[in-house]
Structure 1
Amino acid sequence: MKLSEVKQILPTLENVEFQLEDGTFVPEHFHVTEVGMITKNFIDCGGTIRTEKVVNFQLWNADDYEHRLKPDKLLTIIKLSEEKLGIGDFEIEVEYQSTTIGKYDLEFNQKTFVLKNKTTACLAQDACGIPSEKQKLNLSDLRANSSGCSPNSGCC
């Protein structure tokens, strides 16, 4: 989800809620402690130099159980980050602490923002040496080979 999408959704909400993919909710007293832009410059295993940019939201839980972040406050923080940091309209990555700091993609399910588990992948599969996936066949679909050999023909 891009930053512009979040900015369109926030004015339609009464509350800002985040939910993990497994259905667990981020406690409602969370804080957004950072809104920033992360630029990642790297080289993949095939030798291609790449750059990725994401907007970063960091969620944090404190012991102030009465705290509630309202949509207009988050929108103000986002607009300030755009103005002061020059943040662009990039995909959002959310950092949230569980057993360690996790990074999540963001989606919206018409009510809450959903933290989607991120996965890794090779960006240079043609240079990586990973064999392509073999085609799966059912034995029942195999036909007798071109020599005309078939079950009960006595050729085997």
Structure 2
Amino acid sequence: MKLSEIKKELNSLTTIAFQLPNGELVPNHFHVTEVGKVTKHFIDCGGTIRNEEIANFQLWEANDYDHRLHPEKLVHIIELSERVLNMPDLEIEVEYQMKDTIGKFSLGFDGTNFLLTSKETTCLAKDNCGIPAEKIKAKIGEWKEKASCCGSDAVCC
């Protein structure tokens, strides 16, 4: 989800809810403690120099159980960040404190809740890293008998 998309969705909501991948909701007294622009400048394992930019939201919960962040306030925070940090319309990554570490999530929306979706690592240089492509496994019963190249109608023999 991009910054423009979350602002559009927030403008149609009266409350904000974030749902974790396991279906649980982030407690509704959460804070958005930062909206930032993160730049990652790196070299992948194939030697390609890469630059990535994302918008980072950090969710945090304290013991102020009566706190509620309203959609219009979050839109204001996002717009201030865009202006002050000169942020283009970036993809959003959300940080949220899990049991033992900070979780990083992509963001979606189901019409009611903002969905924190799991992220996975991958090789960015699959053509250069030397890991063989996975073999395709055929299921028993899906095998087809190979046609002979030397049959009566073949042109190769």
Identify whether the pair has TM-score above 0.5, normalized to the shorter chain.
yes
Secondary structure of 1:125 counterpart: coil
Residue 77 of structure 1 aligns with an amino acid whose one-letter code is: I
Structural mapping, 1:5-154, within 5 Å: 5-99=5-99, 100-140=101-141, 141-143=143-145
Structure 1 residues not aligned, in runs of 5+? 149-156
Secondary structure of 1:128 counterpart: coil
Secondary structure of 1:105 counterpart: strand
1:138 Cα offset (Å): 3.5
TM-score, scaled relative to structure 2:
0.89
Aligned residues: 148
Q: Which moved more, 1:77-86 or 1:89-98?
A: 77-86
| Cα separation, 2, equivalents of 1:21 and 1:137 | 32
Write 1 or 2 for the structure with the bigger share of helix.
1
Q: 1:153 maps to what in 2?
A: none
- Partner deviation per Cα, 1:62-115 (whole Å, 9 max, x = no partner): 010000000000001011111111111010000000121010000000001000
1:35 Cα offset (Å): 0.3
Identity rate of aligned residues, in percent?
57
1:137 Cα offset (Å): 2.1
Residue 97 of structure 2 aligns with an amino acid whose one-letter code is: Q
Secondary structure of 1:127 counterpart: coil
Structure 2 residues not aligned, in runs of 5+? 151-157
| Cα separation, 1, equivalents of 2:147 and 2:16 | 63
Residue 15 of structure 2 aligns with an amino acid whose one-letter code is: N
Residue 132 of structure 1 aligns with an amino acid whose one-letter code is: A
Say if 1:83 and 1:129 are closer, same or farther in 2 by CA, change over 3 A: same
| Cα separation, 2, equivalents of 1:4 and 1:134 | 41
- Partner deviation per Cα, 1:103-134 (whole Å, 9 max, x = no partner): 00000000010000000000000111111121
How much is the aligned-residue C-alpha RMSD, in angstroms?
A: 1.6
